[in-house]
Structure 1
Amino acid sequence: MGDQGRGFPTRCRCGEAVRMVTSRTAKNPGRLFHSYPRGSEELLQSRWYHTFKWTDECMIEEIEDMKLKMNTVEEDSITLQKSFNACESEVETLQMETRVCEAVIEKEITECKMELRSLKNIIGCVVVMIFIYMFLF
C-alpha cells in the first residue's frame, strides 16, 4: 500500500498484518477484501480505526499506479535510447579520430626514421672525412 493509502494494504492502521478474506454477505457474496486480521466482530466495533478495503478496488488503484510508472519507464527508456545513440555516435567519431591520429603518427614515425637514416649517413660521412683529414695531415 502506497503512502496515499492506495493499492493493496499490507498492514492495518493498528500495525497488525492485513489478511485477505472472502465476503459471505448477501450483498457482496464471494467478493474479496483486505481487513484487520482478528475477525469481523472487533472490526465492526471499531471500524473507523481498523483497515477494510475491497480487493477489486485495490487492484484498480494498483493498475492505475502501474500505468503511471510504465509511462515514466517508457519516457525514461526513450531518453536513455537517445543518450545511447549519442554515445554511439561519439564513439564512432572518436574511433575515426583515433584512426586519423594513428595515420599521422605512423607518417611522422616514418619521417623520423628517414631523418635518422639521413643523420646516420651524415655522421658516417663526417667520421670518414675526419679519418681522411687525420691521415692526410
Structure 2
Amino acid sequence: MDNQRRGFPKRCQCGEPVVLKTSTTAKNPGRLFHGCPFGRDGNWYHTFKWTDTSMVEEIEDLIEKVENIDGAAMTLQKGVNACESQIDTLAMETRVHLGVVEKEVEEMKMQLRSLKNIVGFVMVMVLFFMCMY
C-alpha cells in the first residue's frame, strides 16, 4: 500500500466519511474494520480496511516520526551545547578583557595624576619666574 492509504482511512473514494464497523462474518466475527457506509460485500469500489491493520500502520508511522524527532532533538541539543560552550568562552574572554581594561584605566589615572602634578609644578615655576623678573 502507498503512504496515502496507510493508517486509518478518513474518506471513501466516493467521498463519504468512513465509519468504524464490526464484522459479522463467520471467518472474522467481531473484528473491527473501517468502511464506507454505502459499501457492501464484494463491492471493492468503496473503502474497506481492517482496523488492526490500520493500527499497525499508524504505529509504524508514529515510530518513524518519533525516531525523526529524537534525531532532531539530539541535533538541537548538540547545537545548544555548542552555544553554551561558546557563551562560556566569551564570558571568560570578557572577564580577561575587563581585567586588562581596568588595569589600563588605573595606569591612565596614575599618568593623569602625574601630568597634573607636572602642570602644577610648571605653573608654579612660571609664576615664580614672572615674579622674579
TM-score after normalising by structure 1: 0.87
Aligned pairs, number = 132
CA distance in 1, matches of 2:3, 2:17: 16
CA distance in 1, matches of 2:100, 2:4: 64
Give the aligned partner of residue 14 of structure 1.
14
Give the aligned partner of residue 131 of structure 2.
135
Give the aligned partner of residue 5 of structure 1.
5
CA RMSD of superposed structures (Å): 1.8
CA distance in 2, matches of 1:127, 1:53: 105
Q: How far off its partner does 1:119 sit?
A: 1.1
CA distance in 2, matches of 1:47, 1:70: 37
Match among 60, 72, 84 for residue 80 of structure 2: 84
Deviation by residue 1:62-86 (Cα, 9 ceiling, x = unmatched)? 1111111122122222222222221
* 3-state SS, counterpart of residue 21 of structure 1: strand
* Mapping for residues 1-137 of structure 1, pairs under 5 Å: 3-37=3-37, 42-44=38-40, 47-137=43-133
Q: How far off its partner does 1:46 sit?
A: 7.8
TM-score after normalising by structure 2: 0.89
Q: How far off its partner does 1:54 sit?
A: 0.7
CA distance in 2, matches of 1:82, 1:96: 21
Structure 2 regions of 5+ residues with no counterpart? none
Structure 1 regions of 5+ residues with no counterpart? none
Distance 1:47 1:123, change over 3 A: farther
Identity of aligned residues (%): 57
CA distance in 1, matches of 2:116, 2:16: 92
Higher deviation after alignment, 127-136 or 76-85: 76-85
Q: How far off its partner does 1:131 sit?
A: 1.2
